[in-house]
Structure 1
Amino acid sequence: MDSPVTTRLSEQLREKIEESIVTGAYAPGTRLEEIDLAEMHGVSRTPIREALIQLEAVGFISKRPRKGWEVTAIPAPRLCEMFDVMAEMEAMCGRLAARRATDVEQRRIRLTHQACQRAKEANDPAEYYRLNEVFHLAIYDASHNAFLIEQASALHRRLRPYRRLQLRVRNRMHTSFNEHEAIVQAIEAGQGDVASDLLRAHVVVQGERFTDLVSSLESLVSPKLSVVA
């Protein structure tokens, strides 16, 4: 049985590797070698293997026969299906949050939104993305539906690299912030249907946003598979 120290180390390593995937440092198709990662992080292969198993469980990587671990490349149509489901989950969270959010939860959503504004004005996409995630999770929590929170959070985590990619598109950060403002106002006003519609439109990937996402994905993929060393 793993000790708490070993478990925590594997979780820290998972977060580091996941962040490299999220930021595009490990593009789809990149091979991840246990021994190289262990040397890179100054640890044994055991916590690295555990971290990779955790990443496989949420779909970030997969294990290929005779090829080892590989960063998962999701086909664009499949990715859009996942965003469709995410949009519906967020729409439900918004509708329930507008009905159920406490004053404290409404204030948390508003304060997080204001923090996003500061990141936007500082032209800091990385910080905006981090706060954007906090903003959405605050809306999930305000839904007061534990099962919905669990499922929405899991899918949000799975889509993290791709939601982050969208902020690279020109003016998307500013557009995202303006959409957030309308969502916050609807939640504060108790307008469930409005909040639902706004969140659905905010998350779903269609039309030009589909083209932009595919373009961003293509820019990340190397001409040939690389090995993390």
Structure 2
Amino acid sequence: MNLAEKVYRQLKEDIFDFRMLPGDRFSESEVAERMQASRTPVREALYRLERDGYVQVYFRNGWQVRPFDFRYFEELYDVRIVLECEVVRRLCMESDRAERLAGLVTIWCCKPSQRQVDPVDVAFLDEEFHFGLLECGQNKQMEAIHKDVCERLRIVRRLDFYEPGRIQATYEEHSSILDAILSADSSRATRELTRHIELSRNTVRDITVHRIQEARQRYSTDLSRK
């Protein structure tokens, strides 16, 4: 991995882990000092992040983590619903769907005492659940588009698991979706999947600056325990 790639990944992780918040301003020299890198790979990483929609440049005035664009997030959720529901419909018609879904069933259709309770861990598992559904669909192009969409939504989706009751509800919703697919009930599976994603979308509509600051503090505490 070259230095520009390393800086790119670290900065993106800083954004996802709330160490850099939407609206935060910074300079190339600040990043270079923190990363112990020259400004050339830092600039290369920043322009790549700009192309990916994570930061924006102010010529002669440094850089800024892109503020939340709620319409943008709403549109990404629409894409998620279309992709995931189509994959679920196809899975309901596959004779080997139980075999394909076995790994997800083990994680999500478990006893309450076996469930994860840490928001950081559950956020990761939730993302892997949705990636897993697309992987079971066995369409590499749909899988790649879906992964890109989910990555762009990652910061707002992580906020979801600090809401009271959302961890327990996520286990129940995922389990119910899997049960519907295994029963070949396409209508119920897509209905419950859509509702599940819509509940996550509602998190975006309730985001405030205070809530993001609070999430940064709590998320940093949770990460430090690991």
Normalised to the residue count of structure 1, the TM-score between the two structures is 0.79
Alignment of 1:14-163 (within 5 A): 14-100=8-94, 102-113=97-108, 120-121=115-116, 123-163=117-157
Q: Residues 19-48 of structure 1: CA distance to partner in whole angstroms, max 9, x if unpaired?
A: 221122211111232221121122222332
Amino acid at match of 1:181: S
Relative to 1, partners in 2 of residues 1:102 and 1:215: Cα closer, same or farther, differing over 3 Å?
A: closer
| Aligned residue in 2 for 1:216 | 207
CA distance in 2, matches of 1:191, 1:51: 46
Q: Which moved more, 1:192-201 or 1:98-107?
A: 98-107
Instruction: Go from structure 1 to structure 2 and tell me whether the alpha carbon gap of 1:221 and 1:94 turns closer, same or farther (over 3 Å shift).
Output: same
CA distance, structure 1, for counterparts of residue 91 and residue 57 of structure 2: 39
Query: In angstroms, what is the RMSD of aligned CA positions?
Result: 2.7
Alignment partner, residue 217 of structure 2:
none
Give the aligned partner of residue 192 of structure 1: 186
Gaps of 5+ in 2: 214-226
Q: How far does residue 176 in structure 1 lie from its aligned partner after superposition?
A: 1.4
Mapped to 1, the partners of 2:169 and 2:147 lie a distance apart of 23
Cα distance change of structure 1 residues 66 and 58 upon mapping to structure 2, 3 Å threshold: same
User: How many matched pairs?
Assistant: 212
Residue identity (%): 25
Q: CA deviation at 1:118?
A: 7.4
Q: Which has the higher contact order (CA 8 A, sep 6+)?
A: 1
C-alpha spacing 1:142/1:28, structure 2 compared with 1 (3 Å): same
Q: Deviations over 1:37-81 (max 9, x none)?
A: 121122222332232233222211122333332111233344223
TM-score scaled to structure 2, two decimals? 0.80
Deviations 1:150-193 (A, max 9, x none): 21111111111111112222211211121111112122223333
| Shift in CA distance, 32/105, structure 1 to aligned 2, threshold 3 Å | farther
Deviations 1:106-128, CA, capped at 9 Å, x for gaps: 1122234369x77854x210011
